[in-house]
């Protein structure tokens, strides 16, 4: 501790008296107390204040990084709804086609299909059963997704193969109207298959 001398006159004209007083670390004998701003404040080890501009940049960066995630979720939702709409349309179409093959007479089927003329009715009924099974399989995830997703994938593959075969049959018979219809159906079934299969697994 530093020692300083203080020269001070007494109140009653007493001669000069020298008195020693302790000097605190924050004062100086020559210049008096140090300003408050010059005194060292408490220090926190391992922490440094971040400038406001950098904080704003961090928040802006965090906000910008969250936007693609939201947009990706929206795109996934829209794709999910579009695929379900397409699956429902395919199921309704093939259910109606299967109902006609399972219930109509061979003469009526000849007028409706064309290719069924001269074909055994049992084969036509079998095709109707296959179409009905595949149509219901496309909607299998509505019952249970864990097993229904696999059934849906195989049903989409079956519809793609069936419509491709029917497309070739109608082209060989020069029935371009039916060929165009089966081309659209094959594209829809293939779109469902591609949309639901990602990274080798069925996704919702």
pLDDT values of the chain reduced to their tens digit, one per residue, 204 residues = 444 444 444 444 445 454 555 555 555 555 555 555 555 555 555 455 554 444 444 444 444 444 557 888 888 888 889 999 999 999 999 999 999 999 988 888 888 887 877 788 899 999 999 999 999 999 998 888 778 888 999 999 999 999 999 999 989 989 898 899 999 999 999 999 998 887 456 665
* Cβ burial 91-120 (10 Å sphere, 16+ → b, else e): bebbbebbeebeebeeeebbeebebbeeee
- Residue 192: what pLDDT? 92
- Residue 5: what pLDDT? 46
Contact 115, 133 (CB under 8 A): no
- Residue 42: what pLDDT? 56
- Residue 117: what pLDDT? 79
- Residue 110: what pLDDT? 82
In terms of DSSP bridges, do strands 3-8 and 17-22 run parallel, antiparallel, or are they unpaired? antiparallel
Task: Please give the model's pTM, rounded to 2 decimal places.
Answer: 0.61
d(CA 197, CA 149) in angstroms, rounded, equals 10
- Residue 34: what pLDDT? 53
**Nearest partner of 194 among 43, 95, 101, 87, judged by Cα:** 87
Contact 100, 131 (CB under 8 A): no
Helices (H) and strands (E) in the chain, counts: 5, 6
């Amino acid at each position: 501790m530093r020692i300083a001398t203080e020269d001070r006159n007494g109140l009653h004209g007493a001669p000069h008296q020298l008195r020693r007083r302790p000097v605190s670390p924050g004062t100086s004998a020559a210049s008096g107390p140090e300003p408050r701003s010059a005194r060292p404040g408490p220090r926190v080890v391992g922490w440094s204040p971040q400038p406001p501009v950098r904080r704003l940049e961090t928040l802006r960066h965090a906000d910008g990084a969250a936007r693609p995630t939201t947009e990706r979720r929206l795109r996934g939702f829209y794709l999910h709804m579009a695929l379900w709409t397409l699956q429902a349309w395919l199921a309704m179409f093939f259910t109606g086609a299967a109902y006609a093959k399972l219930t109509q007479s061979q003469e009526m089927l000849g007028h409706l299909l064309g290719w069924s003329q001269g074909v055994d009715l049992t084969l036509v009924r079998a095709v109707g059963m296959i179409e009905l099974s595949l149509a219901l399989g496309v909607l299998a995830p509505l019952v249970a997704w864990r097993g229904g997703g696999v059934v849906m994938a195989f049903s989409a593959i079956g519809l793609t193969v069936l419509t491709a075969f029917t497309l070739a049959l109608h082209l060989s018979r020069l029935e371009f109207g039916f060929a165009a219809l089966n081309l659209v159906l094959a594209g829809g079934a293939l779109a469902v298959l591609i949309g639901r299969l990602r990274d080798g697994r069925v996704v919702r």
